[in-house]
Structure 1
């Protein structure tokens, strides 16, 4: 039986395969809300932690913006600590930002250092849920990224981290030989 997670993670895998990248499954699914993939291109070795949200947690038609929320469980936070220190692979998070109209879904590919500015792996206040939020404003070139550890506004000013919407080719794409 196909799960929703299979569908949403499949969007990420489809991008890789369509660009000539052949990933190898890193481990069996332990948590239905995420998958981890390892793969190599002629650019580098990668580990990608994939999470999905079926639809935005909030939308503003007047501002043309949508926000997706990606919560992390205590088990997932511990898992991230473990996979960060296991080898020299470049760690990225692929947040599949789903929509009811599936062709309007987006994938936010974010490096681990940006994610770690948004969540607290070594938090002392265990009561505080950890999450990453991805905002997309219609017509903008970047996702706005923030979370539990980083507010979207600081003293009335934008405090989000910016990640290009179309950065997957740049990060994973096959290097072209200029010969």
Structure 2
């Protein structure tokens, strides 16, 4: 009998979402050759002539959520950054599937970022030491609250290499919630 780890459920949730919500079903799905292969997958679909390499990572929601947004912080170590760079050099078509887990798992989110946006958020090219990608889910505010997030429902990405705001203006990357359909 196989012993399951908690992480297997999170990565399995990504695989399930891909099969259930993707517009085109994968024609080939395999693990990439890597020491931590449960997180890296090779995906072939009818939509693309290139294979996709999907690097997955999961994290629980942060306690600093408010009524206006929820927040997940994904920390990347040097080995993970090197793996991402090597995958991009070897395959070219790398995406990050960031699994944003809510307490109780209900209504958890999946943020799908392309390699360039991920590297921008991580600050790899500008040499930051702490490398994080922050995913923020904005909820529509109630009328009369004076909310700055009104009308900006959905997922946003920023991180150690990309400020959330510049001169008080939103500098986040909008993440389509139907990104799996575009694979």
Q: Could you say whether these structures have the same fold, taking a TM-score greater than 0.5 normalized by the shorter chain as the test?
A: yes
Aligned pairs for 1:1-179 within 5 A:
1-18=3-20, 19=22, 20-21=25-26, 22-30=28-36, 35-44=39-48, 45-61=51-67, 63=68, 65-88=69-92, 90-122=93-125, 124=127, 128-139=129-140, 140-169=152-181, 171-172=182-183
Q: 1:35 to 1:29 in 2, by over 3 A?
A: farther
| Counterpart contact for 1:56–1:97, Cα < 8 Å | no
Corresponding residue pairs, total = 164
| Counterpart contact for 1:141–1:164, Cα < 8 Å | no
RMSD of Structure 2 on Structure 1 (CA): 2.0
TM-score (norm 1): 0.83
Q: 1:46 to 1:57 in 2, by over 3 A?
A: farther
Q: Distance in 1 between matches of 2:179 and 2:153?
A: 10
Q: Once superposed, which parts of structure 1, at least 4 consecutive aligned residues long, lie more than 6 Å away?
A: none
Q: Distance in 2 between matches of 1:40 and 1:102?
A: 28
Q: Which runs of 5+ in 2 are unaligned?
A: 141-151
The structural deviation recorded for 1:115 is: 0.7
| Counterpart contact for 2:40–2:53, Cα < 8 Å | yes
Q: Which runs of 5+ in 1 are unaligned?
A: 173-179
Determine which structure has the larger helix proportion and give its number: 2
The structural deviation recorded for 1:81 is: 1.2
Q: 1:144 to 1:3 in 2, by over 3 A?
A: same
| Counterpart contact for 2:123–2:162, Cα < 8 Å | no
Q: 1:59 to 1:67 in 2, by over 3 A?
A: same
Q: Distance in 2 between matches of 1:10 and 1:165?
A: 19
TM-score (norm 2): 0.81
